[in-house]
Amino acid sequence: MARLRALHGFHAISARLRHDATSVKELYVDASRHDARLRTLVAKAAESGIRTIPVDGRRLDGLSGHAPHQGVVAMADEIQVATSLDDVLDDLPAGTIPLLLVLDGITDPHNLGACLRVADGAGVHAVVAPKDRAAGIGATVEKVASGAAETVPYITVTNLARTLRELKERDIRIVGTSDDATASIYDVDLTGPIAWVLGTEGEGMRRLTRETCDELAQIPMQGAVESLNVSVASGVCLYESVRQRRPGAGSRRAIERAS
């Protein structure tokens, strides 16, 4: 029997209702709230036959473990996501082109949550991070991720450089981001299997991680700021991969070769 866990906040609960409404067992709402946002959520739950229980704020605080809940808490089955990168890659449907996001040294849970949300939107198959320099999945990550913490496998590995070398053996190209790279992300061919590697804002990737990359690329910066927040940079890079994989699209380099 699946374990039940509490989901809190409108984004996380709405995402679960869209992803797997049958896993939601009960919805607890603040009895004093009667606004349109709450009515919409209650209506979505009712469409799936989920019982809504009005309670006071103290009960919601207890159910959510005193995390910010916005007046809504759902009890739902705990979804099991893959915990092994090999399992993720081996289970991909035939013909699927792997797209991975590797985060080196991202310890801020807000950044991790935002990266997971971007990864989910871009169709990333897994987010990978080192065990010794990484934020764990907790209440803050889950809230910021808006449900993506339960849909995108978050794999932590003991040795990141070794994991990257193993990905190369699977013909997955490792592309790292660096402010001093000569090529821009628009020059890199991203149509094949790719693992994007991003480090912390300012410090970037660790030396060994950088040396393991097949190619480095930079995000062109037109203004006064020198770098982007890692979640924003992740979105820029991942969606360039998504764009290039569309029929008729491609990198500048690939288009020049074809012409």
- Burial class of 247 by CB neighbour count within 10 A (0 to 12, 13 to 18, 19+): exposed
**Whole-number pLDDT of residue 239:** 97
Q: Are 104 and 197 in contact (CB under 8 A)?
A: yes
**Whole-number pLDDT of residue 2:** 61
pLDDT more than 90, % of the chain: 66
Token pair for 87: 């399992």
CATH code of 4-77, in short, is 3.30.1330.30
Question: Which secondary structure element, helix H or strand E, spans residue 116, and what is its range?
Answer: helix 109-122
Task: Quote the pTM value.
Answer: 0.77
Question: Which secondary structure element, helix H or strand E, spans residue 127, and what is its range?
Answer: strand 126-130
| pLDDT of 240 strictly over 90 | yes
In the chain, domain spans = 4-77, 85-258
Mean residue pLDDT across the chain: 89
Tens digits of per-residue pLDDT, 136-169?
Answer: 888 788 888 888 888 899 999 999 999 999 999 9
CATH code of 85-258, in short, is 3.40.1280.10
- Kindly indicate the confidence band of residue 65, based on its pLDDT and cuts at 50, 70 and 90: confident
